[in-house]
Every structure is written in C-alpha cells, then in structure tokens.
Amino acid sequence: MERVCFLLQVKPERLEEYQARHAAVWPEMLDALTASGYRNYSLFLRPDGLLVGYLECDDFASIEAAMQATDVNARWQAEMAEFMTLPEGARPDTGLLRLDEVFHLA
C-alpha cells in the first residue's frame, strides 16, 4: 500500500466556495475516485488556504493515469483550477506538491 500526502494552495478569497463545492462533490466524481483506487482520501484546509491531501492506494501512478482517462476528472479539475494558486498551465491534479513520508507509526 502506498500512502500519499500532498499540498496545494487555495486562494484565500475563494475558501468558502471551495469548501461548499467539496461538501457536494459530484457523485460521478466520487465513483471515479473509488473505481480508480483511491482509498481513505481526505482533504484538510488551513484558514490561509493551505490544502493538505492524504490518500492510500496500491500504486499512485496507476490511479493518476486512471483518473486522467475519465471525462469527469477533466471537468472537475477545470472547475477547481479557478480556486487554486497553480503554476502556469497546471491543473490541481497535476500541480500538487507531493510530500515525502519520513515517519509512520504502524
């Protein structure tokens, strides 16, 4: 099993709407995440917009590829991009900063 933690930055002026969108994630997006192999997926948001994501999967490269192949992911990422501070041309799912795991208490 692979544990993945990543960072993104939500624009501070868009925090409330970002949270509202995630309170009502499209059912087809939830289905795509599950079908792609996302498990135990959580997002945590700091008041200044720092977003920390955590998920578990068998192979992160495989789940990324599976999600890239879905239409719903392309539509979701296009909508979420307006909430994020991202490098030019990046989408939230390609502009994330993955963190290295340095400790895990099993």
| Residues forming the active site | 22
Q: In this structure, are strands 2-9 and 97-99 parallel, antiparallel, or unpaired?
A: antiparallel
Q: DSSP letter at 101?
A: P
CA 1/CA 22 separation, integer angstroms: 26
Tokens of 83: 């909430």
**Cβ contact 48:78 at 8 Å:** no
The CA distances from residue 46 to 64, 91, 94, in Å, are: 25, 20, 21
